[in-house]
Amino acid sequence: MTSGALTAMVAIVAVVGGPRGGYAATGQSAQLQAVQADPVYGCVVCHADMRRAFVEGIHSERGIACHDCHGGDPAALETAAAHTGDYVGTPDKIGIVQLCGSCHSDPDRMRQYGLQVGQVAEFRTSRHGQLLLGERNTDAPTCTSCHDAHTILTPDNARSRVHPTNISGTCAGCHQDESLMAKYGLSTDQFDLYRASAHGVGLFERKNFASPSCVGCHGSHAAMPPQVTEIANVCGQCHVLVRKAFDAGPHGAAARAGDLPGCTACHSNHETERVAPDAVAETCVECHDPDSRAAQLGVEAEELIVDAERDLHAADEAIEELVAAGWQVSDLRFRYQTALTDYLQIAEFQHGLDVERVGDLSRRVGSISRDIRATAEGSAERTWEHKLLLIPVWFLTLSAIVMGWFKLRRLKE
Ligand code: HEC
Ligand code: HEC
Ligand code: HEC
Ligand code: HEC
Ligand code: HEC
Ligand code: HEC
Ligand code: HEC
Ligand code: HEC
Ligand code: HEC
């Protein structure tokens, strides 16, 4: 390296204001970026591996440089001289929260990017934050445990450790660690149960991004287990109609009083599945006396739901048979959709324990289904009529061929 290049380097750094000062002014950030890409930027001369990781991330893209986080003199090309002044080296886990917060909690800096500034404040309220900042216990995660230190990517980047399909693996990094979790008396099965649940299958296999990852229920920076009285609200963020019906019924009142753990009483928190129609009544007797009115209600509800499911299934089969026989079924499919909507509403009202409404809907599904099946049978009969009608046609065709053949032979003779 020539001394000319070094002088130029020092000049550029002087222009951008030196350590920690310069990145904020936008006109200068392009210059800084040039500096940082320049192999004579002191820090990366010696820390080439960090540069490789860093340039892939969002901070590098925005012209932030090594010394904005680590301090030191980026113009120096010798260790002692580089690691001087406000050089902080590697910040510890608590120092990292302060470091990230120095920009991310500053509305003046973040406004231009439309970014929220609440991450540190939220983190402080989380179990993680209480453990790290309150109890100074470094088993807790800090910002870089979930975001990485250098390759920090936006959450919508599929390679980001906080992307919806990756974040549960990031949480599992600690929450599946038996020896770590044993210290806090926490189980390590959340990830495995979640992955096999309706939500895990929805997110990972069906790529349904409306399905929650760990943070969909716990929050990311504010991660906490919901209180008993909060659970219905957590699930209700997405299952709006079920929650509305649930709130209106006696179980909603019991949940608000803290006597019933909301939705997880019947669906579990991590192993979330729909309750099978023929298992409804047995759910009720887990809490209610088998001779109680509540248990009786469960038996009635189960019968109605099982009927509705059977009728819906029969209608679906009838339509599929017609499709196989080559019939137009768009009208029947439309009617099937009406039955399906009613069927889905049953699940809603079942949560309010409104068995009367469940009965109305179940009977409507039954009547639409009978209608569809009657139409289908009619069509099937007509299929046979068609086939019978075809017999004379075949007969005539065959006779024509035979007669033609005789005529041909006679002509040849
Ligand atoms: C001449 C080579 C050289 C230059 C230039 C240099 N470093 Fe270092 N750096 C080292 C060496 C060697 C180590 C490991 C030994 C040590 O910790 O001093 C190190 C360690 C570090 C560490 C880890 C310290 C720890 O606590 O483990 C950080 C962070 C760091 N450097 C940041 C920087 C930054 C920021 C710059 C630019 C302002 C810079 N370095 C410039 C050679 C250099
Ligand atoms: C956004 C802030 C930020 C920027 C910018 C940044 N670092 Fe770091 N760096 C950190 C944090 C935080 C750590 C602590 C390690 C961790 O949490 O994994 C760290 C750790 C390090 C270490 C110690 C690595 C180790 O494994 O012990 C070195 C060396 C280092 N950084 C160099 C650099 C260099 C060189 C650049 C510029 C290319 C840079 N850093 C840019 C935040 C930053
Ligand atoms: C010197 C100021 C500064 C520091 C220190 C800093 N950031 Fe940033 N961060 C930014 C800027 C500027 C952006 C770019 C915002 C944008 O373009 O959306 C950003 C973007 C991000 C993003 C992506 C946000 C998005 O959705 O666009 C994440 C995540 C992030 N930073 C995390 C961290 C973490 C973790 C730390 C601490 C290790 C940290 N930042 C330290 C300034 C900083
Ligand atoms: C337990 C994991 C975890 C920790 C610890 C964590 N984050 Fe995040 N962070 C996430 C997730 C997940 C997202 C994606 C968006 C979301 O779900 O909120 C995110 C998003 C972000 C974003 C993008 C903007 C936004 O709010 O959506 C910024 C900036 C950010 N985090 C900064 C930080 C800072 C600063 C810290 C340290 C106080 C931190 N994060 C600690 C998991 C974490
Ligand atoms: C660096 C390790 C680490 C990572 C990563 C991590 N956690 Fe934790 N988490 C802990 C530790 C340690 C505790 C124990 C705190 C306690 O109970 O005192 C904890 C506690 C919790 C609790 C409270 C449990 C209770 O009943 O006290 C929840 C909820 C939680 N974490 C969710 C998450 C989620 C969601 C993620 C990912 C977004 C995550 N954690 C990522 C280490 C981690
Ligand atoms: C972030 C939104 C969201 C949250 C929060 C949420 N869910 Fe879900 N849930 C979904 C989505 C989306 C599906 C459908 C997934 C798929 O199959 O693709 C689903 C599926 C289900 C199913 C299976 C439905 C079926 O027909 O198979 C049940 C049961 C369920 N959730 C209950 C709950 C409970 C209980 C909670 C709270 C502990 C909860 N959900 C929290 C979005 C959410
Ligand atoms: C559908 C919502 C939902 C999802 C998704 C979810 N949780 Fe939970 N989680 C809960 C609820 C609700 C509780 C509180 C249970 C209680 O108090 O009975 C809880 C409790 C916890 C606890 C406290 C200890 C325990 O097991 O009861 C930890 C730790 C935890 N969750 C971590 C995670 C992790 C890690 C993930 C992702 C792999 C995750 N959770 C996904 C709803 C969810
Ligand atoms: C007392 C037990 C119980 C409680 C408490 C409960 N559910 Fe259900 N849930 C069921 C049963 C039984 C079914 C199956 C009913 C059916 O197939 O019609 C079901 C079905 C579901 C379905 C699938 C049906 C659909 O519409 O896709 C979702 C989603 C659901 N419940 C969410 C919730 C939510 C959210 C809460 C809390 C607000 C909750 N459940 C509370 C028993 C319960
Ligand atoms: C996790 C326990 C639990 C399960 C499971 C459960 N309940 Fe309840 N139920 C309660 C609690 C708690 C109350 C409120 C206190 C009370 O009135 O007994 C309640 C109240 C009721 C009430 C109003 C009061 C009454 O006794 O008439 C009805 C009706 C009822 N439940 C029906 C059902 C039906 C039907 C099922 C099955 C689909 C069911 N419950 C499943 C706990 C449960």
State how far the Cα of 362 lies from the Cα of 341, in Å rounded to an integer. Answer: 11
Which numbered ligand comes closest to the C-alpha of 282? Answer: 9
Answer yes or no: is the C-beta of 162 below 6 A from any ligand 4 atom: yes
Cα 229 to averaged position of ligand 7 atoms, centre (Å): 15
Answer yes or no: is the C-beta of 66 below 6 A from any ligand 1 atom: yes
Answer yes or no: is the C-beta of 90 below 6 A from any ligand 1 atom: yes
Cα 165 to averaged position of ligand 5 atoms, centre (Å): 18
Output the pLDDT for position 138. Answer: 97
- Residue range 183-209: mean pLDDT, rounded: 97
**pLDDT reading at 81 higher than 80:** yes
Output the pLDDT for position 393. Answer: 80
Which residue minimizes the CA distance to atom 29 of ligand 8?
239
Output the pLDDT for position 29. Answer: 52
Answer yes or no: is the C-beta of 26 below 6 A from any ligand 4 atom: no
Output the pLDDT for position 11. Answer: 36
- Residue range 116-126: mean pLDDT, rounded: 96
Cα 154 to averaged position of ligand 5 atoms, centre (Å): 22
CA distances from 43 to 4, 70, 88, 395, 401 (A): 18, 10, 13, 94, 94
Q: Which residues of 324-333 are buried (b: 16+ CB within 10 A; e: fewer)?
A: eeeeebeebe
**pLDDT reading at 381 higher than 70:** yes
Output the pLDDT for position 320. Answer: 94
CB atoms within 10 A of CB 76: 20
